[in-house]
Chain A
């Protein structure tokens, strides 16, 4: 086997940029995602300042025009979902963790993997370039509804809207290639002895998310091609004047859009499951239940999409049907939350930074889940539709997923990625400095939404019933909270880069964890292990009675004495 490992160990820039090593590609995805998160966060800062202080010369940005406002809102959403949540949660963690956690030396299609990142990078460049073309970036919301998105005389961004669409399409191609790789690798390259029940939950979740993505993205690709034709070739697929149907886009978009929520939710759920088991020193409660529940949720998520069209003129009987399926899907998700709480029950909990993030994920996500029920019921949605209540609900689901879940993962696997420990004190300061302001941003927005504040409005001064002092005060409070939260992110960035230089050496297994990635060096060498490990048991054998150590790594044969791994 060693003869197949005479990889060239050159360290030039080109060999890094064109590396096929899954760890390098994972890091490339992670750093690109983090850079995009800074852009998306900055956009949020700019348009929130406009809402709190209309017409103000925003520091570091300038005056926000109404066209710019639309573009900032649109691209904030697009970036955070497609260029932050997806690449970091699925591509970065998937690439880094899958081969390490299933005990193989790389993905089964390494070159396809590299191509995936290169297309992703290209898509990010196309998106960023769309801000600078004539007419500015696309401003028709991340859902890109026609006819606004289809006709240049409506959206006034003839180039920006097509570049936006092109960027999204390229991004889908990148994730398609990545997903194919993930699933095939997990199926065919697991360590000998690793059965379906021995796969760590985070890997299962990334695989399920990839399957969901691949099964749901097809109709949106179809829709995107049709929209592109409408924009550039003069077809009328979505133009009602010429026999087209604008609501058709909404169906094609949300057939993907709703499963997409679970595409990003499941990996975050998987990360928290692994983090919680390690820091509660307990076996995951009901492993198979979690797995089957996740599969059930995935299947059900294909039958809820029309809850986004309750007021788009769909048949009320159809709305009833989709109300039922939408409310049904809260059951498996609630079940997963209960299972996680049962995992914590009776454990010896250690409140490390990753554990705090994992616990916060559970708590905050539940607020998002509960508020969703009001929107899934077609009756109450008539009032709440397109209000800030929707916006706050959505952020209470996506922020825990894309920010809290990601921080749980990064702080947990940082020692493995870079071989150094992050600073715990700074980690905790960053945690509280993120989670408290987060709630301060979005609880007022719930209240504003119930008060009738509509989304996508540039300046509320023009609407007397929304321009009152108490409402404006809440807007200011939310914006100030956002600024505080953004400032605290610099604590994280400092901690991240300073720990690379002067962090404590991590060693192989600083958290005393069971899964296979902790049995190799930190950071793992090219090829991951000198000798690839075998698997002998499930990933969550913590606090097993009769063993000296409270953990039992997956690669230790049954007859070997306790604690032989570390």
Chain B
């Protein structure tokens, strides 16, 4: 019943030259909203930290693993570069069927999965050390902000996986892939700021 009206897509005939793909514009707008959301979270964190009077992390709360997370950060950044490279290769004519491009895309996705998995392990370790959502403002903000980022990362990875499957079948939409790229650039690009704000 639901497929009735959607069977005939795409229904909008393109009647003017497209400068930016629909998917990319749409996702860019979404990213604007999400950037502002993280800006809100980070400024809230900074206000709370400033209000704590110089003792940060608060007494009795563990320090965040700055060094280990640096490895993770680099993995994520490499993934972003690989996606940019994939997008460039797809943009060249007929490259959608290219096996090497598919492998690069897969490598980028796996690096993203590594990032989320590593972060999850870090959470488990911190929970054991006594940093929980309600243990202090420090813990609340850490889990809230990193959790929000992880949510975006998982969403973007799923989106990229769908693109990868479609690319291997040879029917990947340009608009959808451009949207997935924009979302992944956002996930990669916002992380260093969050990392420096929260861990330092």
A199 CB, nearest partner CB in chain B, Å = 13
For residue B12, CB closer than 8 A to chain A, the reply is yes
CB <8 Å contact, B15 and A104: yes
For residue A44, CB closer than 8 A to chain B, the reply is no
Residues of A within 8 A of B20 (CB): 187-188
A534 CB, nearest partner CB in chain B, Å = 9
Evaluate whether A237 and B29 lie within 8 angstroms (CB atoms) in the complex, with A229-B140, A243-B51 already known: no
In the bound assembly, the distance between CA atoms of A196 and B43 in angstroms comes to 36
| Majority secondary structure, B binding face | helix
A265 CB, nearest partner CB in chain B, Å = 20
Residues of B within 8 A of A217 (CB): 33, 36
Residues of A within 8 A of B196 (CB): none
CB <8 Å contact, B25 and A183: yes
In the bound assembly, the distance between CA atoms of A18 and B12 in angstroms comes to 18
Cross-interface CB contact of B25 among A7, A105, A188, cutoff 8 Å: A188
Number of interface residues of A (CB under 8 A): 62
User: Which residue of the partner chain B has the closest CB to A218?
Assistant: B36
Cross-interface CB contact of A235 among B12, B47, B134, cutoff 8 Å: B134
Cross-interface CB contact of B40 among A6, A20, A222, cutoff 8 Å: A222
- The residues in B between 152 and 194 inclusive whose CB is less than 8 angstroms from any CB of A are none
Interface bits B43-79 vs A (CB < 8 Å: 1, else 0): 1100110011000001000000000000000000000
- The residues in B between 72 and 128 inclusive whose CB is less than 8 angstroms from any CB of A are none
CB <8 Å contact, B22 and A105: no
For residue A245, CB closer than 8 A to chain B, the reply is yes
For residue A462, CB closer than 8 A to chain B, the reply is no
In the bound assembly, the distance between CA atoms of A144 and B63 in angstroms comes to 34
CB <8 Å contact, A252 and B37: no
Cross-interface CB contact of A214 among B29, B39, B44, cutoff 8 Å: B29
Cross-interface CB contact of A181 among B26, B44, B47, cutoff 8 Å: B26
Residues of B within 8 A of A252 (CB): 40, 44
Cross-interface CB contact of A191 among B15, B37, B58, B133, cutoff 8 Å: B15
In the bound assembly, the distance between CA atoms of A114 and B182 in angstroms comes to 23
CB <8 Å contact, B133 and A184: no
A245 CB, nearest partner CB in chain B, Å = 6
User: Which residue of the partner chain A has the closest CB to B13?
Assistant: A1
A417 CB, nearest partner CB in chain B, Å = 20
Residues of A within 8 A of B30 (CB): 176, 180, 214
Cross-interface CB contact of A15 among B4, B29, B51, B58, cutoff 8 Å: B4
Cross-interface CB contact of A10 among B4, B35, B140, cutoff 8 Å: B4
Cross-interface CB contact of B29 among A6, A19, A20, A184, cutoff 8 Å: A184
- The residues in B between 17 and 32 inclusive whose CB is less than 8 angstroms from any CB of A are 18, 20, 22, 25-26, 29-30, 32
A187 CB, nearest partner CB in chain B, Å = 6
Residues of A within 8 A of B140 (CB): 229, 235-237
A384 CB, nearest partner CB in chain B, Å = 28
Interface bits A216-233 vs B (CB < 8 Å: 1, else 0): 111111110110010001
CB <8 Å contact, B12 and A243: no
The bracket for how many chain B residues form the interface is: 35 or more
Residues of B within 8 A of A532 (CB): 13, 15
For residue A470, CB closer than 8 A to chain B, the reply is no
Cross-interface CB contact of B13 among A105, A215, A234, cutoff 8 Å: A105
In the bound assembly, the distance between CA atoms of A527 and B11 in angstroms comes to 9
In the bound assembly, the distance between CA atoms of A15 and B1 in angstroms comes to 7
A-B contact count (CB 8 A): 158
Residues of A within 8 A of B40 (CB): 218-223, 252, 255
CB <8 Å contact, B29 and A218: no
CB <8 Å contact, A243 and B41: no
Residues of A within 8 A of B10 (CB): 4
For residue A333, CB closer than 8 A to chain B, the reply is no
Evaluate whether A4 and B16 lie within 8 angstroms (CB atoms) in the complex, with A176-B30, A255-B40 already known: no
For residue A328, CB closer than 8 A to chain B, the reply is no
Cross-interface CB contact of A218 among B14, B34, B137, cutoff 8 Å: B34
Cross-interface CB contact of A192 among B7, B15, B26, B33, cutoff 8 Å: B15
For residue A351, CB closer than 8 A to chain B, the reply is no
- The residues in A between 144 and 162 inclusive whose CB is less than 8 angstroms from any CB of B are none
In the bound assembly, the distance between CA atoms of A229 and B142 in angstroms comes to 13
Residues of B within 8 A of A192 (CB): 15-16
A246 CB, nearest partner CB in chain B, Å = 12
In the bound assembly, the distance between CA atoms of A110 and B8 in angstroms comes to 11
Evaluate whether A236 and B33 lie within 8 angstroms (CB atoms) in the complex, with A183-B25, A222-B41, A226-B44 already known: no
Evaluate whether A179 and B29 lie within 8 angstroms (CB atoms) in the complex, with A8-B4, A106-B12, A243-B48 already known: yes
For residue A14, CB closer than 8 A to chain B, the reply is yes
For residue A457, CB closer than 8 A to chain B, the reply is no
Residues of A within 8 A of B41 (CB): 222
Give the most central of B10, B14, B33, B133: most A CB within 10 Å.
B33
In the bound assembly, the distance between CA atoms of A108 and B5 in angstroms comes to 15
In the bound assembly, the distance between CA atoms of A555 and B39 in angstroms comes to 45
CB <8 Å contact, A248 and B144: no
CB <8 Å contact, A109 and B22: yes
CB <8 Å contact, A20 and B39: no
For residue A316, CB closer than 8 A to chain B, the reply is no
- The residues in A between 170 and 195 inclusive whose CB is less than 8 angstroms from any CB of B are 176, 179-181, 183-184, 187-192
Q: 4 new A-B pairs (CB below 8 Å) besides A236-B137, A243-B51?
A: A21-B5, A112-B26, A215-B33, A217-B33
22 pairs of residues in contact across A and B, judged by CB atoms under 8 Å: A8-B5, A18-B2, A106-B12, A107-B12, A110-B11, A111-B6, A111-B9, A176-B30, A180-B29, A180-B30, A184-B25, A188-B14, A218-B40, A219-B36, A219-B37, A219-B40, A221-B37, A222-B44, A233-B134, A235-B144, A243-B136, A245-B51
Smallest CB-CB A-B distances: 4 pairs: A218-B36, A219-B40, A222-B40, A218-B37
A: which residues have CB within 8 A of B?
Answer: 1, 4-8, 10, 14-15, 18-21, 104-112, 176, 179-181, 183-184, 187-192, 211, 214-223, 225-226, 229, 233-237, 242-245, 248, 252, 255, 527, 532
